Amino acid sequence: MTLTSHAALAMAAAFALSACGEAVAPAPAPAPASAAAPATPPVDAAVPAPASAEGGLAIEGEGLRLFTASGSARPIPFGAPQADVLAAVTRAVGGAAPAVTTNGECGAGPVQFAPFANGLNLAFQDGRFAGWFLDKPGPTTVDGVGVGTPRAALDDARTIEIVPDSTLGVEFRSGDLGGFLTAAGADGTVESLYAGLTCFFR
């Protein structure tokens, strides 16, 4: 996670199908074909990908979510292996994998950070995905909340609570998602977002 002056923060599967044929005895003359619709395997209901989600990637309070071109979704939850998360996010965002650095001064202990060029900074601890921080426009939640979202649109999308007496700025919470606003009033916009493990110095 890209860090502010007050804050320092923080899967892919392939399927193969095979078929084999076997010899059979000569069949009698075919009976008239019956009109039968071809079988169609069941498909999980797809979650619509947010139009502004960069590279099919969405942020959420429980981690991240990847979307395929068809719109199906796969979560990347906190606790997932670091190498798998880095590979999946790098493919979604594009470009080279970021350098991973360690901050040994976080309250939770040493935390590894992987900052992407789109402003998404991933946090890892003990080899597991632990948190993220976002401070540039791009990836959003599935309901469209991202950096730059106006306060009115934020309030329309979800219920938020302002963190009282935060020493870091105008901080808000919405379930497992947190963030900061440029101002407390109606003219404020989302300045940054975070979820999971953080390395904020309060």
The predicted pLDDT at position 54 comes to 44
Neighbouring C-beta atoms of residue 191, cutoff 10 Å: 18
Cα–Cα distances (Å) from 64 to 143, 174, 178, in that order, read 13, 16, 14
* Domain residue spans of the chain: 54-196
Residues 28-52: what's their mean pLDDT?
41
Tell me the CB-side half-sphere exposure of residue 94, using CA atoms within 13 A: 4
CATH 1.10.3470 fits 54-196, yes or no: no
At 157, give phi and psi (nearest 5°). -80, -35
Q: What pLDDT score does 50 carry?
A: 46
At residue 32, the pLDDT reads 44
pLDDT band at 85 (very low <50, low <70, confident <90, very high): very high
- pLDDT at residue 202, as a whole number: 78
Q: Give mean pLDDT, residues 118-125.
A: 98
Q: What is the mean pLDDT of residues 177-183?
A: 98
Across the range 114-128, mean pLDDT stands at 98
Cα–Cα distance measured from residue 8 to residue 133, given in angstroms and rounded to the nearest whole number: 9
3-state SS class at 199 = coil
User: What is the pLDDT, as a whole number, of residue 109?
Assistant: 96
- 16 pLDDT higher than 80: no
CA distance 144 to 157: 8
